[in-house]
């Protein structure tokens, strides 16, 4: 026997699917309950069905528009009111902006660090606000951090990897499980000597230099959270360099960026990073120098 409730939920699912495909339009998501009695109970427009819906009026080829929209996470097919936005896309945008600001202040889940045996140290930035305003502090290890790394880290490895929240701890939570094992296994298979991995709170990319002043690795690699996009905080980057020194800069580094499911796939990114590291070791160079050597322009 199917209950009334089950029937209703099946109908709901079917309608939602049709709406998702744009076959049924739900322009007025509410029904006034009676004259004189204002009673609004609106649906959650941040749900996927509202994000994937086409808001263009009088589309020539609705199926084509849906196909175009499915190729990109960008906000296309949103229509217009005069030259401005229609209501619902506008509210989705504003809602995303509001939640993104919360994501910035999130801290990493300690259980994740334990799972990967990453001990935690901190840069000279003492809190998130200071971190945001003082990038210079995020490029230097705190005194305690220096001591801890001295004590715990293997010195002179071929490759030193560490993880940092950067501008999004959520990005690390999102990707670490996928990318970290791929990189570790890839390097082990290549017979390379690995340093002791760890986690740095409030790190900037330039911290690569300071870390290497202690561990003295051939290649230093950091998985770091990118700044959050609108409604998206899950993208991480891997920045790396050959023998970073105190005066190394971005031209001496390479990056694999936009790592998340939906961007550069974390498993593929891991493999790509391993390739990069091998090339750096082969040519004893990184960044622009590596590129010019590989293009045969310089030695």
Partner 1 sequence: MLLRCKLFGKTYEFRDLRELMGKANEDKSGDHLAGVAASSAIERVAAKYVLSEVPLWALYEIPVAPYEQDEVTRVIMDAVDQNAYAQIKTWTVGQLREWILDNKTTNDDIKKIQNGLTSEMIAAVAKLMSNMDLVLAASKIRVVTHANNTMGEMGRLASRNQPNHPTDDPDGIRAEIYEGLSYGSGDSVIGINPVDDSLASVQRLLDMSYKVIQDWKIPTQNCVLAHVTTQMEAMKRGSPAGLVFQSLAGSQKGNESFGISVGMLDEAYEIAKKYAVVPGPNYMYFETGEGAELSADAHHGWDQLTLEVRCYGLAKRYAPFQVNSVVGFIGPEYLYDARQITRAGLEDHFCAKLTGISMGCDACYTNHARADQNSLENLSILLAAAGCNYFMGVPMGDDPMLSYQSNSFHDAPSLRQILKLRPLPEFENWLVEMGLWDKEKLLLTDKAGDATMFVR
**Site for ligand B12 contains 250 (CB under 6 A):** yes
CA separation, residue 25 to residues 56, 122, 206 (Å): 11, 51, 50
Based on CB atoms, which residue is closest to ligand B12, 117 or 127? 127
Based on CB atoms, which residue is closest to ligand B12, 22 or 166? 166
Percentage helix, strand, coil, to 5, in the chain?
Answer: 45, 15, 40
**CA-CA distance, 137 to 133, in Å (whole number)?**
9
Do residues 235 and 248 touch, judged by C-beta distance below 8 A? no
**CA-CA distance, 197 to 185, in Å (whole number)?**
14
Q: Binding partner of residue 76 among partner 1, ligand B12, none, CB under 5 to 8 Å per kind?
A: partner 1
Least spacing, CB of residue 228 vs ligand B12, in Å: 9
Q: Which listed range, 6-14, 82-90, 248-256, 273-281, lies at the site for ligand B12 (CB under 6 A)?
A: 248-256
Taking CB under 6 A as the rule, which mask of x and - marks residues 220-239 in contact with ligand B12? ----x-xx-------x-x--
Q: Binding partner of residue 100 among partner 1, ligand B12, none, CB under 5 to 8 Å per kind?
A: partner 1
**Site for ligand B12 contains 135 (CB under 6 A):** yes
Helix (H, G, I), strand (E, B) or coil at 160: strand
| Residue of 78, 219, 224, 273 interacting with partner 1 (CB under 8 A) | 78
Q: Which residues contact 119 (CB under 8 A, 6 or more apart)?
A: 113, 148, 152, 198, 199
Q: Binding partner of residue 154 among partner 1, ligand B12, none, CB under 5 to 8 Å per kind?
A: none
Angle between helices 143-152 and 207-215 (to 10 degrees): 40
What are the φ and ψ backbone dihedral angles of 162, each rounded to 5 degrees?
A: -140, 160
Site for partner 1 in 158-177 (CB under 8 A): 167
- Interface residues toward ligand B12, by CB under 6 A: 135, 166-167, 204-206, 224, 226-227, 235, 237, 250-251, 253-255, 257-258
């Amino acid at each position: 026997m199917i209950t009334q409730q089950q029937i209703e939920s099946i109908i709901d699912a079917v309608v939602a699917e049709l709406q998702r495909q744009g076959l049924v339009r739900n322009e007025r998501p509410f029904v006034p309950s009676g004259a004189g009695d204002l009673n609004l109970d609106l649906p959650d427009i941040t749900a996927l069905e509202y994000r994937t819906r086409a808001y263009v009026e009088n589309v020539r080829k609705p199926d084509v528009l849906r196909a175009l929209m499915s190729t990109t996470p960008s906000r296309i097919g949103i229509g217009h009111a005069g030259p401005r936005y229609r209501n619902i896309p506008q509210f989705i945008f504003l809602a995303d902006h509001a939640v993104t600001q919360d994501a910035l202040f999130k801290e990493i889940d300690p259980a994740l660090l334990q799972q990967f045996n990453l001990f935690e140290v901190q840069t000279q930035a003492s809190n998130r606000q200071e971190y945001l305003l003082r990038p210079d502090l995020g490029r230097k290890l705190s005194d305690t951090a220096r001591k801890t790394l001295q004590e715990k880290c293997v010195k002179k490895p071929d490759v030193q990897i560490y993880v940092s929240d950067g501008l999004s701890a959520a990005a690390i939570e999102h990707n670490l499980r996928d990318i970290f094992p791929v990189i570790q296994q890839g390097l082990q298979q290549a017979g390379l000597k690995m340093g002791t991995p760890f986690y740095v709170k409030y790190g900037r990319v330039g911290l690569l230099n300071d870390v290497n002043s202690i561990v003295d690795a051939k290649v230093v690699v950091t998985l770091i959270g990118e700044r959050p996009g609108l409604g998206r905080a899950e993208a991480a980057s891997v920045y790396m360099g050959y023998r970073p020194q105190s005066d190394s800069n971005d031209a001496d580094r390479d990056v694999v960026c936009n790592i998340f499911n939906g961007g550069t796939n974390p498993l593929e990114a891991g493999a790509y990073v391993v390739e990069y590291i091998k090339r750096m070791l082969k040519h004893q160079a990184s960044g622009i120098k590596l590129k010019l050597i590989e293009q045969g322009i310089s030695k």
